[in-house]
Homo-oligomer: A and B are copies of this chain.
């Protein structure tokens, strides 16, 4: 497991607004109870069957048994959005992870198998194709529980049918600033989709990051789900771009001031909290999108938003427990960010 690279370290389509896309398929093995009610022996048998099926694939996957992992490294997987919070703290869990960190499978989360593909940018079709191919290959060795009436059977009803959840993370600072974010969220809900702040509750989200997804996997075909989430995401991308255009028209200098101050502070600070780091990185991200900062790739910012989280910093410090001095974490976070931004800054950045 690497802490400095992963699905988050490349650039992607429309990534001025669309930070990342994620597709997940829920599958269960025929003849086993669902994870919430299965015995330890059944859990281990499912792990064995899944592992064997993965070993037959042409891809190389790393099998990570969470019980054998230091708690800090589990948290890193959680911060990279590869495993869920519940999964992170449950005993006897297994995750399979592709070499590039983009494809992963949680074994015995709510379902026996949750296949996920994640990438930067807006690319639902592309990542669905990857996860769909994996699903088909696995079906060669695994017998997935399904019925003609219901489709794939899952532990929770809303995941049944396709088992497909498609989501897109969107960075919408201009809609937040011009106070139309509430309207935009409502519009997405009216389209039958769900949207929520990624770091925070309700209309406000730290770093102005919002995640849109389909609430139900059942009752729609896969391509309908991908199309509706994709179209809604594209609509939000356009709203946000329009709002950015308006604000650069009416308040260009104020915006440049905010962007360059955020960039200046990140390049200068010696102590920084996770919360402040995300807020300032969000502003720098906006500045890159608006062409106000040209010397920095947007993927550097996406990557820092993941890597500036606490467990990643503790791992850099090789501190294996939760008692790490917070000041040392804030100091190391500042150093990581400074160095990452400086490494991408051209020599003439002061002109």
Question: Residues of A at under 8 Å CB distance from B?
Answer: 253-254, 256-257, 260-261, 263-265, 267-271, 327, 331, 334, 342, 345, 347, 349-351
Decide if B253 touches A260 in the complex (CB within 8 Å): no
CA distance A345 to B327 in the complex (A): 29
- The 9 nearest A-B residue pairs measured at CB: A264-B268, A257-B270, A264-B264, A260-B268, A257-B271, A256-B270, A342-B350, A261-B268, A264-B265
Chain A interface helix/strand/loop/mixed: helix
By a CB distance below 8 angstroms, the chain B residues around A334 are 257
Having A253-B331, A261-B269, A342-B351, one finds 12 other A-B pairs with CB under 8 Å, namely A253-B270, A254-B271, A256-B270, A257-B269, A257-B271, A257-B334, A260-B268, A260-B269, A260-B270, A263-B268, A264-B265, A264-B267
CB-nearest residue of chain B to A257: B270
By a CB distance below 8 angstroms, the chain B residues around A269 are 257, 260-261, 264
Once A345-B350, A349-B350 are accepted as A-B contacts, the answer to whether A253 and B271 lie under 8 Å apart by CB is: yes
By a CB distance below 8 angstroms, the chain B residues around A331 are 253
By a CB distance below 8 angstroms, the chain B residues around A350 are 267, 342, 345, 349
Q: In angstroms, how far is the closest chain B Cβ from the Cβ of A170? A: 27
